[in-house]
A and B are shown apart, each in its own frame.
Chain A
């Protein structure tokens, strides 16, 4: 069975209909045979009813009635397709500045970010902003797709200019891996099949790159982190003394025999066994969901983190983080919020807003006293419970948190810990 051996790539796309994003996604889905006849017939019928000259592939991805009515993508939509060796999850996000929070959401789980530019326009404020957000969210692989090459006569000069401009801009960002691919989503050049019009380009097609980009090494396999989610105690005759700590490995490789520390208590013990359902396994690594047993009867509960004795996060109540604010009421100093970090929940007080980052220019506005909706800034927090955190640059799971408005229950902020 194919799926049992395939690996997975999650990627985020950003852009508006004008950039040809929907056409590109439509083409990836069509060419990998992931669109069904009834879906295609439905959008063909709608396009015809609206009097369009061509089938608007954006209708495939714009799922909500309000989006179809307004002809814009508002929310993150998840799309799925597969090639023989890899399954792809696309987080398709809107490109406009008023939807930055949606793009942050889509990028949070992405291994790769795909930014589209229109070859005729070159880099715009929007494409720069997309690259900045992907870099802030530490999406390890970035693809700049220079689209609509057919409209610039497949000119190498245009590509080279955009390439140079972008790589220069990217030096200010954290982009470990960059690929710049000239394509025409409409005509299909370099999307799945190699273009016959751009012999000067020797790099991969977009699909080839998506299929082969190496993502397994992006995880931290050194620093063992195991946030405890749930304590399993069957209370049955057969498993009378069973006491297992269930969770998803957030970093490193854990093995039976490892000497570990339970945080924040600081109690030490040894891993006696690791279970995966009804089997004992010899090692656990991210993102496996397993159950860990300790040799000693130490007090462990949800919200604790198991780490190695000589390599453990320092519990801290003072958090310095980049925060993307997601609600219309601005974030202000002295505000109190609920915070969720790994499996740990507490309260947080906003101590200071150090600066607001202009995501178009990277300018730091230190005069700001608040963060508005869709704005990103550097903030210091004091929490009621110690967090067992790592810098986000080291571990995207133990370095991230969400902020929740205690009155409405709504998620209002996303945080990435500095360090």
Chain B
């Protein structure tokens, strides 16, 4: 059941309906003005909300652009399953850009020290260039991180895929400027104004499928750098590390060697919402090793061309 409020006599839209309307507007602008858009789909909750919004924006027509996933080779199988279910249901084309393949082709270099997350950058930029995509939708939210708080909805990338935070185009009203030069592309963030709580409220309201690892489950985990990481062949235990079974869930999904889980018994959307509402640590700070290296970790990766 959707709780639409359009029948209210005072013509008031709830904030979630306003966010939805704004995001749908953005999807339609991009589809109308860009030659070759693509939606970057990770299988995580934010990209699932993007898929839902894209579905609504063009219904009953199919989503008029393909979906791109960067496969780190270290993805959670549950996430890949959800991805496939969504792609099948909506009948969209899926393009998988594989980090392993990019390493094999010499596009990115695995020196054994660089994280898969970082190797995604080169893999992603190569996929965008190879396919000639001019606009790539990303699920970034401004509440996630300080550098993202300043990023535009239409975020311009030069021919090297780089973001120049000091030289962003002004963005006014709901008028988006999609002008590009040859070889440049635009990153589009249709859910910029959504918060983590909004995402969960929306998933609950829409009743849409998300990967099972967001819900409480039993998992063999071990402690590293203050995070609970999953036991896996890709993530061998180091000296002194001990794996044990815990009741956990994930707040974000990414490269499984870097994405920590939290101890939780939240097994429904409502319980997750209650947990998020009282959480005292940001989802990235709590569970993302990739954001922890420095205060400007995200800004640096974004400048290079990260999501």
Instruction: Name A residues whose Cβ lies closer than 8 Å to a Cβ of B.
Output: 1-8, 36-39, 42, 46, 60-66, 68, 74-80, 82, 86-87, 89, 101-102, 104-105, 108-109, 216, 219, 221, 229-230, 232-236, 238-239, 242, 246-248, 253, 275-279, 281-285, 287-289, 302, 326, 338, 340-341, 343, 396-397, 400-402, 404, 409-411, 414
Contacts and interface: CB of A to CB of B under 8 A. Distances in A.
B201 interface: yes
Contacts of B13: 7, 287-288
B15 A6 contact: yes
Contacts of B93: none
A220 to B, nearest CB: 11
B198 A3 contact: yes
Contacts of A3: 14-16, 197-198, 201-202
Given A3-B14, A77-B149, A289-B57, 20 more contacts: A38-B285, A75-B150, A80-B193, A102-B170, A221-B11, A230-B31, A232-B61, A235-B61, A242-B61, A246-B28, A248-B174, A279-B2, A287-B21, A288-B17, A288-B21, A302-B32, A341-B175, A397-B173, A402-B177, A411-B171
Contacts of B299: 63-65
Interface in B191-205: 192-193, 195, 197-198, 201-202, 204-205
A101 B172 CA distance: 10
A108 B61 contact: no
Contacts of B171: 105, 411
Nearest to B167: A410
Nearest to A403: B177
A156 to B, nearest CB: 37
A36 B285 contact: yes
Contacts of B258: none
Contacts of A1: 201, 204-205, 270, 273
A44 B60 CA distance: 51
B285 A104 contact: no
Interface stretch (B78-86, B111-119, B276-284): B276-284
Contact of A105 (B7, B172, B181, B205): B172
Interface of B: 2-7, 10-22, 24-25, 28-29, 31-32, 56-62, 142-143, 145-150, 165-166, 168-175, 177, 179-181, 192-193, 195, 197-198, 201-202, 204-205, 270, 273, 277, 279-282, 285-286, 295-296, 299
Contacts of A400: 172-173, 175
Contacts of B12: 7, 216
Nearest to B172: A108
A7 B14 CA distance: 5
B60 A216 contact: no
A287 B6 contact: no
A66 B166 contact: yes
A285 B14 contact: no
Contacts of A4: 3, 14, 16, 201, 205
Given A234-B60, A282-B7, A340-B177, A7 B150 contact: no
Given A1-B201, A410-B169, A38 B61 contact: no
Contacts of B204: 1
B2 to A, nearest CB: 8
Nearest to A232: B61
A284 B4 CA distance: 12
A7 B5 CA distance: 11
Q: Closest 3 CB pairs between A and B?
A: A63-B146, A409-B179, A38-B285
Contacts of B28: 229-230, 246-247, 289
A103 B148 CA distance: 18
Contacts of A216: 10-12
A287 B174 CA distance: 11
Contacts of A74: 166
Contacts of B180: 409
A348 to B, nearest CB: 14
Contact of B59 (A5, A77, A219, A277): A277
Q: Tell which of B3, B12, B19, B270 has the most Cβ of chain A within 10 Å.
A: B12
Given A277-B56, A277-B59, A289 B20 contact: yes
Contacts of A338: 179
Contacts of B11: 216, 219, 221, 253, 285
B295 A46 contact: yes
Contact of A285 (B6, B25, B169, B296): B6
A410 to B, nearest CB: 6
A327 to B, nearest CB: 9
A80 B16 contact: no
A79 B16 contact: no
A396 B173 CA distance: 8
A411 B101 CA distance: 39
A64 B201 contact: no
A38 B286 contact: yes
Contacts of A104: 170, 172
A79 B32 contact: no
A340 B170 contact: no
Nearest to A106: B172
A80 B60 contact: no
Contacts of B181: 409
B301 to A, nearest CB: 13
A45 to B, nearest CB: 9
